[in-house]
A and B are shown apart, each in its own frame.
Chain A
C-alpha cells in the first residue's frame, strides 16, 4: 500500500538551532515528491518538488534532499517565522498522498 510517513510529529527548536525533518515513502511509480509549509487555518504553501534520488533544492534557510526511500528537509539557523507545519507529499500515477506533517516551533 502506498504511504508517506513523516517524523518527528512535532519539533521545538531554539532560534538558530539547525535540524532536519524526515519523510519516508512507499509508493509504486513515484513521479515526484513535494514539500509544503502550512500555517494554521491556511492552505499549504508550495516549497519544493524533487523528482529523482540524489536531487537537492534550496530556498533561503531550507534545503530538501531525496533518496530512493526518503526525503529530508533541512532547516539551517531557523527563525521564529519558520514555525509552521511542514507537509510532505508524493505523486504516483493518478493520485497524491500526503503525510501527516511535522509541527515545527522555533523559539526566540
Chain B
C-alpha cells in the first residue's frame, strides 16, 4: 500500500508570494495533520483535520490555513511568505483523531523562501 504522499517535493518562492502544499493520506485514513520542521528542530504542529473539520491548531499566524477534501486529501496554504517560513513541511495521516491512532508521516515538502 502507498504511504502518505506529498507534493511538490521541493519548492522555491519569493517573499510575499503564496504557496499551496498538497497531501494524500494513507488509504482509509480520515485524519491529516500538518507540521513545520526547521533544520535542527523538531516538527511544530500547525493543524489537524478530521472528517473535513479542523480539530486542532498550533501557534501559527493566520497566514497559514488548510482544508481537507471529501477524499480526505488536504492542502496547506501559506500567504505573504516570509524568509522564516523556509522549512520542511510534513503531513501525517492517521485512521482517526486522537492519541490512540498512530500518525504516519510523508516525506515532506522542502520550501525555500528567497
Contacts and interface: CB of A to CB of B under 8 A. Distances in A.
Chain A complexes with chain B: yes
Contacts of A98: 35, 42-45
B99 A94 contact: no
**Interface residues on chain A, size class:** 20 to 34
User: Which of A43, A46, A98, A99 has the most CB atoms of chain B within a 10 A radius of its CB?
Assistant: A43
A45 interface: yes
B43 A87 contact: yes
A87 B108 contact: no
B105 to A, nearest CB: 3
Interface residues of B, number: 26
Contacts of A87: 42-43
A31 interface: yes
Contacts of B106: 43
B98 interface: yes
Nearest to A46: B102
Nearest to A97: B45
A95 B90 contact: no
A4 B41 CA distance: 12
Interface in B14-66: 33, 35, 40-45, 48, 55-58
B105 A32 contact: no
Interface in B68-114: 90, 92, 98-100, 102-108
A94 B57 contact: yes
A93 to B, nearest CB: 8
A89 B103 CA distance: 11
A42 interface: yes
Contact of A94 (B40, B43, B55, B108): B55
Interface of A: 4, 6, 31-32, 34, 36, 42-46, 49, 51, 87, 89, 91, 94-101
Given A46-B103, A100-B40, 18 more contacts: A31-B98, A43-B92, A43-B108, A45-B105, A46-B104, A46-B105, A87-B43, A94-B56, A94-B57, A95-B57, A96-B35, A96-B48, A96-B103, A98-B35, A98-B42, A99-B42, A100-B41, A100-B42
